[in-house]
């Protein structure tokens, strides 16, 4: 699993080639979706597959696995995946981050105007100090949420390996990707 050039990342990604036909791999997940024993909700649209945590285990910080299976070279398939929060959680966090950045800019303009006019700028200065602190709190909350969802992320990855019908050690050396997910998230 690579971080794709980022030491600070919230959404772990993976990518590998497998010597199986794309249609066979997608069909594996279609069979799992129809299986009454399968407890994971699966959505399949073309070559995109989204796997969620079962509803009874689902919480605000539960991750989801989105991956796509593309045609690779010859008979191989390229699999690209992404673990992340559900789209509504991700959108909410991005909205709040942009709102904090916008508010900081507005209060900076107000501060500068009041300062240049020799007026009392205490309120705008306090917001300028408080908003970066709020941003740091939001970042810490995101990291705590990722740690809360880590066991479910590993569970999703193990289901993914089962659905792909592969032995993960064949493609990733001695350390399994599940172990790398745990180890990389400990460092972040």
Measured distance CA(136)–CA(87) in Å, rounded: 22
Measured distance CA(27)–CA(163) in Å, rounded: 10
Residue 112 has pLDDT above 50, yes or no: yes
Residue 185 has pLDDT above 60, yes or no: no
Quote the DSSP letter at residue 79.
Answer: E
Tell me the pLDDT tens digit for each residue of 86-111.
889 889 989 999 999 999 999 999 99
pLDDT of residue 85: 87
Enumerate the domain spans of the chain: 90-138
Mean pLDDT of 144-166: 88
């Amino acid at each position: 699993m690579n971080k794709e050039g980022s030491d600070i990342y919230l959404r772990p990604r993976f990518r590998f080639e497998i010597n199986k036909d794309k249609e066979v791999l997608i069909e594996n997940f279609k069979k799992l979706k129809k299986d009454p024993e399968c407890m994971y909700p699966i959505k399949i649209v073309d070559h995109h597959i989204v796997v969620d945590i079962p509803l009874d285990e689902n919480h605000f910080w539960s991750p989801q696995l989105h991956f796509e299976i593309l045609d690779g070279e010859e008979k191989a398939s390229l699999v690209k995946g992404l673990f992340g929060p559900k789209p509504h959680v991700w959108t909410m966090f991005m909205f709040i981050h942009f709102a904090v950045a916008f508010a900081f800019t507005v209060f900076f303009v107000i501060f500068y105007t009041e300062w240049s006019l020799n007026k009392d700028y205490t309120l705008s200065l306090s917001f300028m100090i408080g908003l970066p602190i709020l941003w740091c709190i939001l970042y810490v909350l995101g990291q705590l949420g990722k740690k809360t969802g880590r066991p479910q992320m590993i569970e999703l990855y193990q289901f993914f390996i089962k659905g792909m019908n592969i032995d993960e050690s064949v493609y990733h050396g001695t350390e399994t990707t599940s172990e790398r997910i745990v180890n990389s998230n400990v460092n972040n």
